[in-house]
Amino acid sequence: MPYFTEMTKHHQYGTPNMPQILMICGIFLLAWFYAPTWHFGFIWDDPQWFGRIVDKGWLELLRPLPDFQFYRPGTLVYHRLFLRADGTFATLPLHMAQVGWHLLNVALFYALGARLGLGRWFSAVAALLFGVQPYTYQAVAWASPQHTIATSFQLAAWLLYLHARQGRRFRLLLSLLLFGVACTIQEGTILLAFVPLLLERLLVADWHSWWQSIWRGAGRAGWVYVLLAGAYGFYWLQTPRLSGITGLLLEADVARYVLQGIIYPLTGRPLVVAPEWLFAVGGAGVLALLALAQRQGRGSLALIALAWTFLGVAPVLVGLSFDYVSLGSRLLYFAAPAISWLWGAALWPAAVPRLTWCWIGALLLALIALQSGWLLAQFQRLYKPGTDHMREMLTALDGQNGRFLFINFPDRYTAKEAPYALGYWGITLAPVVMELHDFVAIERGSTPTTISYSLPWIDLHAREQGPFGVDMRGVIISPEALYQVARGQDGVYLSRYYADGRFRLQWVGSLHPTPDTDLPDQLTCSLAIYDHIICLQAIEVQPTATKWQVTLSWLRLTGAEISPFTAPFVHLGQPGQPPLAQDDGDAWFNMLPMTVWQPGDLIHDVRALARVPGDDALSIQVGLYNWVTGERALALSVDRQRPLADNAYFYSLRP
């Protein structure tokens, strides 16, 4: 009889169906929570990651790629399933599948525990603890990690192995096949080949029986996985690959990071542990968990869980630098199920008579679940503004094939209050090594050209007040250089930041030389002339539910000197009365002062005026003013003979 069956069959809490009901409810709750990630699209280096399989046939994906640092043919074939005929990817189904794999893993992990005789309640609690573990969020929310997929094949393989122990050899062959597929998806699976041998300990009475079983009994079949993994690992090492990621590395900070992940309830907010204390706290925490599990009669389970954890993180501990590991909580996904067993073995009560510990253990696990859910919600809050901003950019450039300039677009950003002390707990949204048009091409099929610069003083106060620290794409550019760069673009976009953490993409205008640039004395003006220097060439007004979008077309007529304090004003209201709404300042949201404008260039400048009741009977007044003295510039008719009332051009909104 399995080791834990005798212990648990007399101590079921509630009816036999209650754990299954808990599991179903928990999985539906997880599905609801992760549903927003379906629309996250591509981030980070996804265009490069997924783009390598475009224009490659199915068989080509099975061969090593010298420009890829890993040999993962299973991953490439899987990603090929989401490739459209036009070379773009269906990101919505890809993200939906990513969430689906995680939900499947929760269900399979529950089934594995129940099959091993760990008890339905214990298996359900451990599975749901795994489902909400904060370290798993990145692997589920990001489209490219393969850990969720490989884990599904691993857990399915272990379940089939347990069935195969009863003499069902076909299931053993199928189990080996699934394990082999998992290896081709993520090579970290190789070390997990020892898991069947570890699970064997949970099926026998003691360690001596386990030793006999894995050498001469039913458990010896587990060695076949080790042989298969060894053969695949040897081949993997021989394949031509791009170097620079993996190596024989063992860094102290990587070990601290792993310990932080093992005792994650003790190191995450609000109980943040400083990095220098992680060795001491982590070691003491693991020993305490083992001691508590032994007290619960689950010492063997805790040791097996710890060994499984080590197998899951071994490639991280020996082979990857902290610079790489610190960016990837997904790297601990393989160990996450075992970590949940470790905590469950220590805290979930093994018998009803110990009423005090029953309540304490259950309460502690509930607190861990609440903390995990809270941290997951913080990660969701972190990812959403950036992924929404990426979607704004994709929508703006969808179908476009021109050239566009982006100002202050976020490279990566992080929460100012990190959930854990060690590691980078942010999101790399659109790194400078990728161009924004790469994301457009791989998701929408358009072929624009993009360039990025930053003007960090714009929205500086909002970013300082907001919940995120933001790194922006591109070097800092001066207004003079911005003007010259913009002359070769079809439009300019500005990323706006708000104190509540929102990002918004704003079209601010464009800059185009007029056909008669070489003849500035022959430039003509259409609407109004200010100080004999600046012309209002056109005005276009488009209403929305909340604002009037006003696009002004300016033309500098001469190279005469203009005050550096002169800027446009745009007012909504009645003539001679205070404005009801206004948008004043230099063009392009104060990025482009008039002093840098060149004669003959047409500057399109986009403004926004808030809607007010009855505003369709009002007018928009446009002019120039000195923002130091408040004095308006002289406004004349286009023939320069008639001064305009209030030194402004009036645009009537009356239908």
Residue at 28 is within a domain: no
Helical spans, DSSP H, in 239-354 = 252-262, 264-267, 278-295, 299-317, 322-325, 336-347
Closest-CA residue to 592 (of 487, 514, 513): 487
pLDDT at 360: 84
Are both 325 and 347 inside the same structural domain? yes
CATH of residue 560's domain is 2.60.40
Q: How confident is the model at residue 259 (pLDDT cuts 50, 70, 90)?
A: very high
Which of 19-23, 27-31, 63-67, 169-173: highest mean pLDDT?
A: 27-31
Are both 339 and 248 inside the same structural domain? yes
Residue at 2 is within a domain: no
pLDDT at 18: 87
Q: How confident is the model at residue 12 (pLDDT cuts 50, 70, 90)?
A: very low
Are both 275 and 392 inside the same structural domain? no
pLDDT at 287: 96
pLDDT at 274: 86
Q: Per mean pLDDT, which range of 279-283, 355-359, 373-377, 454-458 is the poorest?
A: 355-359
Number of domains in the chain: 3
- pLDDT reading at 279 higher than 50: yes
- pLDDT reading at 486 higher than 80: yes
Distance separating alpha carbons of residues 7 and 184, to the nearest angstrom? 39
pLDDT at 416: 92
Are both 473 and 559 inside the same structural domain? no
Integer angstrom CA distances of residue 126 from 14, 118, 152, 266: 17, 10, 16, 17
- pLDDT reading at 1 higher than 60: no
Residue at 151 is within a domain: no
Are both 426 and 477 inside the same structural domain? yes
Closest-CA residue to 524 (of 557, 560, 559): 557
List b or e across 499-538, with b for residues whose CB sees 16 or more CB atoms inside 10 angstroms.
eebebebbbbbbbbebeeeeeeeebebebbbbbebbbbbe
Are both 505 and 560 inside the same structural domain? no
Residue 570's domain spans which residues?
A: 514-652
Residue at 238 is within a domain: no
pLDDT at 5: 41
DSSP notation for 451-506 = EEEB-TTTTHHHHHHSSEEEEESS-B--HHHHHHHHTT-SEEEEEEE-TTS-EEEE
Answer for the pair 621, 551: CB distance below 8 angstroms, yes or no. Answer: no
- pLDDT reading at 7 higher than 60: no
CA 127 to chain centre: 24
Are both 505 and 544 inside the same structural domain? no
pLDDT at 156: 97
pLDDT at 655: 62
The 10s digit of each residue's pLDDT in 152-179 is 999 999 999 998 887 678 899 999 999 9
Residue at 602 is within a domain: yes
pLDDT at 574: 87
Residue at 42 is within a domain: no
Residue at 110 is within a domain: no
Residue at 304 is within a domain: yes
Q: Which of 509, 525, 557 is the last residue before a domain boundary?
A: 509
Q: What is the pLDDT averaged over residues 458-484?
A: 95
pLDDT at 2: 43
Answer for the pair 436, 390: CB distance below 8 angstroms, yes or no. Answer: no
- pLDDT reading at 458 higher than 60: yes
Q: What is the pLDDT averaged over residues 460-465?
A: 95
Are both 495 and 536 inside the same structural domain? no
Q: What is the pLDDT averaged over residues 336-350?
A: 94
The values of phi and psi at residue 276, to 5°, are -70, -15
Are both 524 and 543 inside the same structural domain? yes
- pLDDT reading at 6 higher than 90: no
pLDDT at 16: 54
pLDDT at 10: 37
Residues in contact with 248: Cβ distance below 8 Å, sequence separation at least 6, in sequence order? 318, 319
- Helix (H/G/I), strand (E/B), else coil: 134: helix
The 10s digit of each residue's pLDDT in 68-119 is 888 999 999 999 999 999 999 999 999 999 999 999 999 999 999 999 999 9
Are both 591 and 535 inside the same structural domain? yes
Q: Which of 449, 479, 509 is the last residue before a domain boundary?
A: 509
Are both 522 and 631 inside the same structural domain? yes
Q: How confident is the model at residue 616 (pLDDT cuts 50, 70, 90)?
A: confident
Q: What is the pLDDT averaged over residues 513-535?
A: 77
Q: Which of 509, 526, 546 is the last residue before a domain boundary?
A: 509
Q: What is the pLDDT averaged over residues 306-321?
A: 92
Distance separating alpha carbons of residues 124 and 114, to the nearest angstrom? 9
- pLDDT reading at 292 higher than 60: yes
Distance separating alpha carbons of residues 612 and 118, to the nearest angstrom? 66
Q: What is the pLDDT averaged over residues 565-572?
A: 96
Total H helices, total E strands in the chain: 23, 16
- pLDDT reading at 522 higher than 70: no
What does pLDDT average to over the chain? 91
Are both 340 and 410 inside the same structural domain? no
